[in-house]
């Protein structure tokens, strides 16, 4: 197979490597090996050193080594279980090889006088003698020469033998010279990819743990990162080539809104708004992520952007991940626009079919100008008149499929994603590289800092007393009980118990309860009473996590804070500190604390800045989990590690840009080589 045909590397595993039978191919497929390329990337999980033979006397107990000698005797011994014991000697000392699993005919293979090599971990045997349990054995008669490379040990699966993998990889390595697709001069400081792979598969004792070994690994990571960056670059290009509506501010509705606000936009808000305006004034689709900490004032920015669409005669929509959050957006938007005469509609799965029909009709005819709801707004029955801009709140909560459904509406509306979970730089550079990012990194003025207090739940009654005192001073309180999926009913019971307990001990104050099992209308009415100050204490499961805005609420009590994630805690804490009074966040925890819980609580106690917290979260959880691999739609990295390979990532990003521009054909080849089946990502 020296045709050099690139396509061969992506397929044809079976035809091209003669040692692969269809049965073997099925087994390889089970461990993700479907192509030549996959086979080459199946690098050893460890190495065994069979390049040397040690004197039995020289190997210490605990060492992993190869020794050689003549068989002295081979006997089956009946201890607790049957075992085969083979003693060999190199003239100076005897060592015992022990096998617990053996077929009867094995015994005859160990004829006295035969010379064999045995490899394994040397253990203390009986008395002063040494032994090796289940050594790897070779007859010296058959393989007299020692190998000069390590023996590679590969990851394998049921029914796939180590020596089978070794054999087919040996065969694949013969064709290595054809895989250097990237121009060599671009990555001159590292070995060629073919050299790197050869080094890793056939590592010599001299190379082990040296610069050469390290550089080979680095090259592998580098190419993987370049491939990832190329795919993101392409996704960026595709998205930014979608045609969309040109929207320019007309200073009608937008002016009216600005004039009606009790405050001025901050410098930060004006800056990001300028970035958004510049995007939507182009005939191509905006794909912008607006990130800003909880309470940083993203809502008004999004509303301004939507009004630009409306004052140009188009529709705009907001999609939020939960019913309660979508409803909050609806209420807030109505409030913000109360002086402006445009139709804002609410669309959710829980509307009656009659209500839906009216709303659908208003959306279709264009009477509805701003449409707010959950993903219900992208069901197939919903037909827009002329949607030009869509805001997606808490975008990381939506999966790839929902984002695709949005795109499939056909009109390529400008997209403004919002997130209150700031994306750490490594992630922004890798998984979100297909979006433009605007950041609000200062909160609006007039905020009072939130004091965070950690209290052992044994002192709960003191907290209740404090809450009573604060209520008598006209403060309002959130009391959050976490919801853990496995025991939803139990947790609901906790919330109900807490509700009863607080009602009993807070005489004269009204306590409300809101949880996921309530009907949306019930939830909404409790929330309304709370925001109007008719309820002083709101007991809630974590349904209030995002977006709820009640400025008079100044105390946040979180039960079982040790069970919650960092970003969740930060989001919850951000519900208070929105008005002018001093705010407190009381974290109740159940001792004893595990290591991770301790670390998390320390971070939340010491930090108020969402970016720092997000970075710590990344450090504790790792990028995969933080991101939700499934939601990113991108294949996971196998070799590079975002926590430790930041410098490489930066380099790969620059190289990918260069390759995309100068060598577009190579870019396409390289992407399909690495990510055979990830094309769907490009459509999102
Ligand atoms: P988030 O970014 O979490 O969505 P919001 O948009 O809900 O934040 O804003 C939080 C609070 O800050 C709201 O009560 C809003 O009225 C207020 N706010 C927004 N912008 C400003 C500003 N420029 N000056 C003062 N207060 C502001
Ligand atoms: Mg918000």
Burial of 651 (0-12, 13-18, 19+ CB in 10 A): middle
Residues 195 and 326 in one domain: no
- What average pLDDT score do residues 487-498 get? 73
CA of 269 to the centre of ligand 1 (A): 10
From 125, 146, 167, the end of a domain falls on 146
Q: Do 345 and 273 share a domain, yes or no? A: yes
Is 194 among the domain residues? yes
Residue 554 vs residue 429, higher pLDDT: 554
- How many structural domains is the chain composed of? 4
What is the model's pLDDT at position 31? 85
Last residue of a domain, one of 189, 209, 229: 209
Mutate to test the pocket of ligand 1, among 262, 265, 295 (most ligand atoms within 8 A of CB): 295
Confidence of residue 684 (pLDDT cuts 50, 70, 90): very low
Q: Are residues 139 and 188 in the same domain?
A: no
Question: With contact defined as beta carbons under 8 Å apart, do 479 and 538 qualify?
Answer: yes
| 604 alpha carbon – ligand 1 mean position (Å) | 22
Point out the least confidently predicted range of 136-150, 184-198, 306-320, 385-399.
385-399
- Using the 3D structure, point to which of 440, 468, 484 is the last residue of a domain: 440
Given a cut of 70, whether residue 204 has pLDDT beyond it is yes
d(CA 488, CA 484): 6
Domain for residue 622, yes or no? no
Residue 85 is part of a domain; what is its CATH number?
2.40.50.140
Q: What is the mean pLDDT of residues 241-265?
A: 94
- Are residues 465 and 576 located together in one domain of the fold? yes
More confident residue, 337 or 108: 337
- The angle formed by the CA atoms of residues 422, 426 and 431, to the nearest 5 degrees, is 80
Please determine, for residue 257, whether its predicted confidence score (pLDDT) is greater than 90: yes
| CATH (domain of 522) | 3.40.50.300
CA 358 to CA 308: how far, in whole Å?
25
The protein residues having their C-beta less than 5 angstroms from ligand 2 (an ion) are 547
Among 299, 579, 611, say which to mutate for ligand 1: greatest number of ligand atoms within 8 Å of CB: 299
- Residue-level pLDDT at 189: 92
Cα–Cα nearest to 139, from 86, 74, 70:
70
297 plus 389 within the same structural domain = yes
Ligand 1, residue 296: give the atom nearest the CA.
Answer: 2
Residue 28 near residue 43 (C-beta atoms within 8 A): no
Whether 573 and 531 share a structural domain: yes
H/E segment holding residue 540: strand 537-540
Letter string b/e over residues 313-323, b meaning 16 or more CB atoms within 10 A of that residue's CB: ebbbbbbbbbb
**Does the residue 656 lie in any domain?**
no
| pLDDT tier, 622 (very low <50, low <70, confident <90, very high otherwise) | low
The SS3 of residue 12 is coil
pLDDT of residue 239: 77
Asked if residue 8 has pLDDT above 80, the reply is: no
Q: Return the closest-CA partner of residue 68 out of 109, 117, 132.
A: 117
Indicate if 300 and 431 belong to the same structural domain.
yes
pLDDT at site 487? 58
- Using CB distances shorter than 6 Å, the residues near ligand 1 are 263, 265-266, 269, 292, 294-300, 420, 444, 549, 551, 578
The structure tokens 């490594």 sit at 426
> For residue 95, how many other CB atoms are within 10 A of its CB?
23
Q: Given this model, what pLDDT does residue 56 score?
A: 93
Q: Mean pLDDT in the chain?
A: 86
> Residue 672 pLDDT more than 60?
yes
Give the burial string for 417-442 (b: 16+ CB within 10 Å, else e). Answer: bbbbbbbbebbbbbbbbbbbbbbbee
Residues 161 and 306 in one domain: no
In a domain, 612, yes or no: no
Secondary structure string (H, E, C) spanning 286-307:
CEEEEEECCCCCHHHHHHHHHH
pLDDT of 224 strictly over 90? yes
pLDDT per residue as tens digits for the range 637-659: 889 887 788 889 889 999 999 99
pLDDT grade for 187, boundaries at 50, 70 and 90: very high
Q: At how many degrees (to 10) do helices 193-201 and 162-173 cross?
A: 150
What is the pLDDT at residue 4?
Answer: 41
Backbone dihedral angles phi then psi of residue 59, each to the nearest 5 degrees: -80, 130
Q: What average pLDDT score do residues 180-185 get?
A: 88
Of all protein residues, the one whose alpha carbon is nearest to atom 19 of ligand 1 is 297
Task: Give the 3-state secondary structure of residue 575.
Answer: coil
pLDDT band for position 399 (cuts 50, 70, 90): low
Is 391 within the bounds of a domain? yes
Residue-level pLDDT at 624: 52
Q: Residue 295 CA: which ligand is closest?
A: 1
Q: Which residues pair with 119 in a beta bridge?
A: 66, 136
Looking at residue 405, what is its pLDDT?
65
Q: Cα dihedral angle (136, 141, 147, 152), rounded to 10 degrees?
A: -30
636 inside domain: no
Residue 563 resides in a domain: yes
Q: Give percent above pLDDT 90 in the chain.
A: 50
What is the whole-number distance in angstroms between the Cα of residue 578 and the centre of ligand 1?
A: 8
Question: What whole-number distance in Å separates Cα of residue 114 and Cα of residue 511?
Answer: 87
**pLDDT reported for residue 523:** 81
Q: Which residues pair with 419 in a beta bridge?
A: 291
What average pLDDT does the segment 363-369 reach?
A: 96
Name the residue with the closest Cα to ligand 1, atom 13. 297
Alpha helices in 242-342 (DSSP H): 253-260, 267-280, 298-311, 323-336
Question: Of 325, 391, 444, which is best to mutate to test ligand 1, by the most ligand atoms within 8 angstroms of its C-beta?
Answer: 444
- Residue 460 and residue 596 in one domain: yes
Q: Tokens at residue 177, please?
A: 């010279």
Q: What is the pLDDT of residue 408?
A: 63
Task: Report the share of the chain in percent with pLDDT over 70.
Answer: 89
Average pLDDT over residues 124-141: 85
What's this model's pTM, rounded to 2 decimal places? 0.71
Residues 462 and 571 both lie in one domain:
yes
Distance between CA atoms of 109 and 492, rounded to whole angstroms?
68
Taking CA atoms only, the protein residue closest to ligand 1 atom 20 is: 297
Predicted local confidence at residue 301, as pLDDT = 97
Strand partners, 371: 317, 345
CB 511 within 8 A of CB 498: no
Would residue 508 count as lying in a domain?
A: yes
Contact 249, 307 (CB under 8 A): no
Distance 444 CA to ligand 1 centre (A): 7
Closest ligand 1 atom to 332 CA: 7
d(CA 491, CA 485): 9
pLDDT tens-digit map of 601-616: 999 999 988 888 888 8
pLDDT at residue 528 greater than cutoff 90: no
Which of ligand 1's atoms lies nearest the C-alpha of 446?
Answer: 25
Provide the pLDDT for residue 423. Answer: 74
Q: Are 194 and 177 in contact (CB under 8 A)?
A: yes
Are 524 and 423 part of one and the same domain?
no
Does residue 23 share a domain with residue 158? yes
Q: Whose CA is nearest to atom 26 of ligand 1?
A: 444
Structure tokens at 136: 């790897």
**Tokens read off for 314:** 């188009």
Q: Which of 18-22, 75-79, 215-219 has the lowest mean pLDDT?
A: 18-22
CA of 266 to the centre of ligand 1 (A): 10
Average of pLDDT values for 178-200?
A: 91
Mean pLDDT of 79-85: 85
- Under DSSP, is residue 477 helix (H, G, I), strand (E, B) or coil? strand
- Which residue range(s) make up the domain with 399? 253-440
Q: Are 682 and 16 in contact (CB under 8 A)?
A: no
pLDDT tier, 397 (very low <50, low <70, confident <90, very high otherwise): low
Q: What is the pLDDT of residue 62?
A: 92
> In whole angstroms, what is the distance from residue 258 CA to residue 251 CA?
10
What is the 418 CA–ligand 1 centroid distance (Å)?
Answer: 14
- pLDDT value at 383 more than 60: yes
**Nearest CA-CA partner of 542 in 510, 578, 520, 575:** 575
Q: Tokens 């005192």 correspond to what residue?
A: 469
Specify the residue with its C-alpha closest to ligand 1, atom 12.
297
């Amino acid at each position: 197979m020296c045709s050099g045909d690139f396509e061969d590397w992506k397929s044809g595993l079976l035809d091209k490597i003669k040692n692969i039978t269809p049965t073997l191919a099925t087994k390889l497929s089970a461990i993700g090996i479907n192509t030549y390329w996959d086979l080459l990337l199946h690098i050893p999980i460890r190495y065994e050193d069979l390049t040397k033979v040690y004197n039995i006397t020289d190997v210490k107990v605990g060492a992993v080594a190869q020794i050689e000698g003549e068989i002295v005797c081979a006997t089956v011994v009946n201890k607790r279980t049957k075992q085969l014991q083979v003693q060999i000697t190199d003239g100076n000392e005897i060592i015992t090889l022990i096998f617990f699993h053996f077929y009867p005919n094995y015994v005859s293979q160990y004829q006295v006088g035969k010379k064999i090599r045995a490899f394994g971990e040397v253990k203390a045997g009986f008395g002063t003698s040494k032994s090796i349990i289940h050594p790897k054995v070779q007859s010296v008669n058959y393989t007299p020469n020692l190998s000069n490379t390590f023996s590679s040990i590969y990851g394998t699966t049921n029914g796939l033998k180590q020596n089978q993998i070794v054999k087919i990889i040996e065969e694949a390595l013969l064709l290595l010279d054809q895989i250097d697709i990237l121009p060599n001069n671009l990555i001159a400081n590292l070995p060629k990819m073919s050299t790197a792979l050869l080094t890793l598969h056939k590592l010599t004792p001299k190379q082990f743990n040296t610069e050469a070994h390290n550089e080979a690994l680095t090259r592998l990571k580098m190419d993987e990162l370049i491939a990832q960056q190329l795919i993101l670059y392409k996704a960026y290009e595709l998205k930014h080539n979608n045609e969309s509506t040109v929207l320019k501010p007309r200073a009608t509705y937008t002016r009216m809104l600005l004039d009606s606000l009790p405050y001025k936009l901050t410098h930060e808000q004006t800056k990001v708004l300028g970035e958004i305006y510049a995007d939507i004034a182009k005939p191509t689709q905006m794909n912008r992520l607006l990130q800003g900490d909880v309470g940083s004032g993203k809502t008004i920015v999004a509303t301004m952007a939507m009004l630009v669409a409306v004052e140009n005669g188009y529709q705009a929509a907001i999609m939020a991940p939960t019913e309660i959050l979508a409803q909050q957006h609806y209420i807030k938007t109505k409030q913000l626009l109360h002086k402006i005469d445009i139709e804002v509609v609410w669309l959710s799965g829980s509307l009656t079919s009659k209500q839906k029909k009216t709303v659908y009709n208003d959306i279709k005819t264009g009477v509805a100008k701003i449409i707010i709801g959950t993903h219900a707004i992208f069901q197939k029955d919903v037909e827009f008149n002329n949607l030009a801009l869509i805001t997606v709140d808490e975008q990381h909560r939506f999966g790839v499929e929902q984002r695709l459904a949005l795109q499939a509406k056909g009109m390529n509306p400008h997209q403004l994603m919002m997130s209150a979970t700031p994306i750490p730089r490594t992630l922004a550079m890798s998984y979100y590289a297909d979006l433009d990012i605007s950041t609000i990194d200062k909160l609006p003025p007039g905020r009072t800092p939130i004091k965070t207090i950690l209290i052992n739940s044994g002192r709960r009654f003191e907290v209740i007393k404090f809450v009573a005192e604060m209520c008598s001073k006209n403060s309002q309180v959130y009391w959050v009980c976490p919801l853990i999926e496995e025991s939803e009913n139990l947790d609901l019971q906790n919330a109900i118990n807490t509700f009863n307990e607080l009602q009993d001990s807070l005489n004269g104050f009204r306590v409300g309860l809101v949880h996921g099992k309530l009907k949306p209308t019930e939830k909404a009415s409790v929330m309304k009473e709370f925001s109007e100050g008719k309820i002083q204490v709101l007991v809630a499961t974590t349904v209030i996590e995002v977006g709820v805005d009640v400025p008079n609420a100044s105390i946040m009590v979180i039960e079982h804070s040790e069970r919650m994630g960092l970003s969740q805690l930060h989001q919850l804490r951000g519900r208070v500190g929105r008005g002018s009074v001093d705010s407190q966040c009381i974290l109740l925890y159940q001792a004893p604390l595990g290591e991770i819980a301790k670390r998390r609580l320390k971070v939340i106690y010491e930090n108020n800045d969402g970016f720092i917290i997000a970075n710590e979260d990344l450090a504790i959880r790792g990028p995969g989990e933080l991101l939700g691999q499934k939601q990113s739609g991108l294949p996971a990295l196998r070799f590079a590690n975002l926590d430790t390979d930041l410098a490489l990532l930066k380099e790969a990003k620059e190289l990918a840009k260069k390759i995309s521009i100068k060598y577009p054909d190579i870019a396409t080849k390289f992407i399909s080589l690495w990510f055979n089946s990830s094309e769907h990502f490009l459509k999102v």
